[in-house]
Amino acid sequence: MIVTKFGGSSMADAGQYRKIRDIILSNPDRKVVVVSAAGKRFKNDHKITDLLYLCFAHAQYGVDCSGIFEMIRSRYQEIREELNIDLDLDAEFEALKKRIDSKSVSQDELVSRGEYFSAKLMAGFLGFDFIDSADWVRFNFDGSVDQEKTYAALKDLYRGNGAVIPGFYGLMPDGHIKTFSRGGSDITGSLAAAALDASVYENWTDVSGILMADPRIVEDPQAIPEVTYDELRELSYSGAQVLHEGSIFPVREKNIPLNIRNTNAPDEPGTMIQEHFDGDHDPNRFITGITGKKDFTIISLSKRGMSNQVGVLRKVLTVLERHGISVDYVPNGIDNVSVVMPTDALAPHLYAVLSEIKKDVEPDTLDVHDQIAVVAAVGRKMAYRPGISGKIFAALGEENVNIRMINQGPDELNIIFGVDNQDFEKAIRVLYNSFVK
Ligand code: ASP
């Protein structure tokens, strides 16, 4: 059995609903369908979830939100009418509007209605059962998911027929509706897959998988066919954002493969995410993906004899810890060490941090370099293969990209290096063109 999840752009209008029906009908194993609220139909369109947040903000300050509410209602009504779905949502919309006006609906409950109405309509359209997430997704008081209760409740509710489930929300122990953070329908899908021991969790979106590089930098990048969870973690930590972070754990724990697919190009295989892969998709390719972020600052200090002294690094890190700054990389030499962190985290504390390092560490030199970008070449196949970093740095050197920092962990899952912000896009393009194309 396959659990599918369709994101906002896949749910945006009647045409998208039809595509979903074709996808579901083309494989009888696709029995469970988790849906997002309707997303954007075109570039400057509004997401229903955004409109719901806006509606709540208006009502909270006593400003009439009827106009916004009407936009929401009519989006769903249009879909219902165009698809001839035999379902009357008017009474529910009316009741909801009354509760907004009397301020008796919480923000979480109101914004969760985007998914709720999506799921109701999709269930009607497909002729599937509707399973409300308020009846099975169980939160603890601290906001974490009570997995045991959640899985047991869904197993109990699911009859083995086709079912549509709204993403994004569940129930607190006190009976109130609570939502996940934004993008959280991915988590609902993952929980459903884990609860029902699905063979695959298919996450359908509007790109043909996780791309090997940012399409704003590399023209028409290829999708990654296979990526491990560890690689994905590296890729998303350094920039690439595809799935909600919280959606990994439930399926990973149960060893259920996660397949990212494109609703608008259903024949493409997308990206498969698994713990391990046995075969080798493309033995010649050692880079799985290239990613990175701009705007880091490096604080470098040197002190004669530092390599023989105990506690210098700890003192530096303690200063940063006092200011609540998380350090990303710590490249070092014999008598020098650098700490690398996002500029926006450091900036408000910069002078205090420098003066405290001066006082606590008494370095011989202390320098700050900003406008640094970090690029990560990620690939499980780089491990234990000599010559890879040589090739990468040679390619960058040929294109005159100056490397400001190099970092590679012993697991050899990635090679991370720093360049000037202005070389960021170029560095990514050089890597892509040299090693992917
Ligand atoms: N509709 C919610 C959001 O826009 C949740 C989701 O789509 O995953 O964040």
Pocket test for ligand 1, best of 6, 36, 242, 263 (most atoms within 8 A of CB): 36
Q: Is the pLDDT of residue 81 over 70?
A: yes
Instruction: Supply the residue whose CA is at minimum distance from atom 2 of ligand 1.
Output: 183
* Residues 170, 175, 176: CA angle, nearest 5 degrees: 65
Q: How far apart are CA 283 and CA 296, in angstroms?
A: 34
Pocket test for ligand 1, best of 49, 116, 179, 245 (most atoms within 8 A of CB): 49
Average pLDDT, integer, range 188-210: 97
Specify the pLDDT at position 419.
Answer: 97
If you take atom 8 of ligand 1, which residue's CA is the nearest one? Answer: 183
DSSP secondary structure code for residue 380 in this structure:
G
DSSP state of 224: P
CA-proximal residue: ligand 1, atom 6 (nearest): 183
User: Would you say how long the chain is, in residues?
Assistant: 437
141 alpha carbon – ligand 1 mean position (Å): 22
What distance in angstroms lies between residue 346's CA and the mean position of ligand 1's atoms? 31
Tokens 């749910």 -> residue: 11
Instruction: Return phi, psi of residue 6, to 5°.
Output: -115, 125
Longest Cα pair distance anywhere in the chain, in angstroms? 79
Q: In terms of pLDDT, which residue wins out, 280 or 75?
A: 75
Banded model confidence at residue 286, pLDDT cuts 50, 70, 90 = confident
What mean pLDDT is reported for the chain? 94
Q: What is the DSSP letter of 191?
A: H
- Ligand 1 center–CA 433 separation, angstroms: 35
User: Which of 109, 111, 168 has most ligand 1 atoms within 8 Å of its beta carbon, as the pocket-test mutant?
Assistant: 168
Residue 299 tokens read as 């604080």
Cα–Cα distance, 216 to 236 (Å, whole number): 16
Mean pLDDT of the 252-268 span: 97
pTM: 0.90
- At residue 401, the pLDDT reads 95
Ligand 1 closest atom vs CA 50: 4
Q: Say whether pLDDT at 238 is over 70.
A: no
Tell me which H or E stretch contains 192.
helix 185-195
Residue 239's pLDDT band, with cuts at 50, 70 and 90, is low
Q: What is the pLDDT of residues 127-143, one digit of tens each?
A: 999 999 999 999 999 99
Q: What is the mean pLDDT of residues 266-278?
A: 94
Two structure tokens written together for 365:
């030199």
Nearest residue (by CA) to ligand 1, atom 5, is 183
**What's the 168 CA to ligand 1 centre distance in angstroms?**
6
What is the predicted pLDDT for the residue at 385?
79
- In percent, the amount of the chain with pLDDT more than 70 equals 99
By three-state DSSP, how is residue 78 classified?
helix
Atom number, ligand 1, closest to the C-alpha of residue 183: 8
Q: How confident is the model at residue 97 (pLDDT cuts 50, 70, 90)?
A: very high
Taking the centre of ligand 1 as the mean of its atom positions, its distance from the CA of residue 182, in whole angstroms, is: 5
Q: In degrees rounded to 5, what are phi and psi of residue 314?
A: -60, -40
Ligand 1 cavity residues, CB under 6 Å: 7-8, 36-37, 47, 49, 114, 167-168, 182-186
Measured between its terminal Cα atoms, the distance across the chain in Å is 36
Q: Summarize the confidence of residues 208-236 as an average pLDDT.
A: 91
Q: From ligand 1's centre to the CA of 17, what distance in Å?
A: 17
Q: What pLDDT, in 10s, does the model give residues 353-383? A: 999 999 999 999 999 999 999 999 999 888 8
**Percent of the chain predicted with pLDDT > 90:** 86
Mean pLDDT of 226-238: 86
pLDDT of 371-424, one tens digit each?
999 999 999 888 877 888 888 999 999 999 999 999 887 777 889 999 999 999
